[in-house]
Structure 1
Amino acid sequence: MTYAGVVEVGGPADVRELPDLVISKVAVGSTNNNAYLLRCRATDEQLLIDAAAEPQTLLSLIGDSGIASVVTTHRHGDHWGALAEVLGATGAHTYAGAYDTEGIPVPTDVPVADGDTLRVGRVELTARHLTGHTPGSIALVYDDPHGHPHPRVSHVPAKPWTGGRVPPAGWPVPPAGPRVPLLRLPRPHCPQGDGEWHRRARSPCPRPAGR
């Protein structure tokens, strides 16, 4: 079945089958948040992105194989609402952006910086620090050796601030360091493909350099 990336709370997960990695996407909670379960085909090790809500839904998705780690993409409560319950059931290690760990009530085992490598089994993921939503928001990018990069983030910052102008009062600005706006990451589905990345970003595809 073709992956569409469209999920609803209470509905089934949508599953993307890649040669080395299986990515299952599910929607949970009153705010319709996405959670992603990544499974390495070679080892069956699993990683969960955002234990956002509905712990029983997430634990059912995880299954008997358990998970090695949980990555929290940012500090807002609708992205870690089920984290304590999932950790209690699985004993997984926790990861989160280094600038957001203090805002997550469940301890973070590994603070993550831009460019850090995370692993699920034999698969490598690259963490990217995002700006404009919280100081330490991160996304994970899987650079598929058999295809194109696959960015995974629970939702797009509403108004990414890249430092080009002074942000409004109260706008969350991360401390000095690498700034990698989400909209500059690869968009593998533009202009063709299933269009999930394009729809979520809500912006036109970037023009080629020099045009």
Structure 2
Amino acid sequence: MKVLLVEDDASIANQLAEALRGENFVVDIARNGEDGQHMGDTATYDVAVLDLGLPKVEGKAILTAWRSAGRTLPVLILTARDGWSEKVEGFKAGADDYLTKPFRTEELIMRLRALVRRAAGHAQAKIVCGPLAFDAQLGTFELDGLPLKLTGLEWRVLSSLVLRKEVVLTRADLLERVYDGDADVDSNSLEVIVARLRRKIGHHRIETVRGLGYRLTAGAA
């Protein structure tokens, strides 16, 4: 799950990014509205956290521009503006959720997971693909009813695949959702992660679609 965090308060941005990365999110930070809008226009994200009082471009203007351009990226507004009229204006601009500062990090993380899940078309928190089950609200995996132990990178790949089960994800799409933008990535790193996952959940569960990418399937071996 990849998050665009648009927040000009360095302390809040750094603390929140650290907490999100601890929950296996990939996080890109924009320190002003101009950079945030550009990143949202040009990169792939599962969800955005957007402050309103930003330098250069206001958060509401960014959101309005994204929605006018047809961008369906789920957006959670995170702001100190707690007036009812401001919340209404935020939702009118296209926000999917609204959380005021100060906030509990745990609550924000749960809200982000719910936004990502619903955007992927899943009404229920538990997503099942054959013997594999993913609790999208808690971020946990089970295989045949037993907890599945994964590394952070394995979790990022498998969660991306299970949220879009039976759909082909390109190599580029998966890499974007696995690594931070400034990470130094080996050319075969994704293949190594997929190979490890296949050993854990069954080789046939992750199909290689030649020339396209990978697909998680519930089909039998």
Query: How does the TM-score come out when normalised to structure 2?
Result: 0.28
Q: Which has the higher helix share?
A: 2
Higher strand proportion, which one? 1
Which structure has the larger Rg over C-alpha atoms? Answer: 2
The alignment's TM-score, normalised by the length of structure 1, stands at 0.29
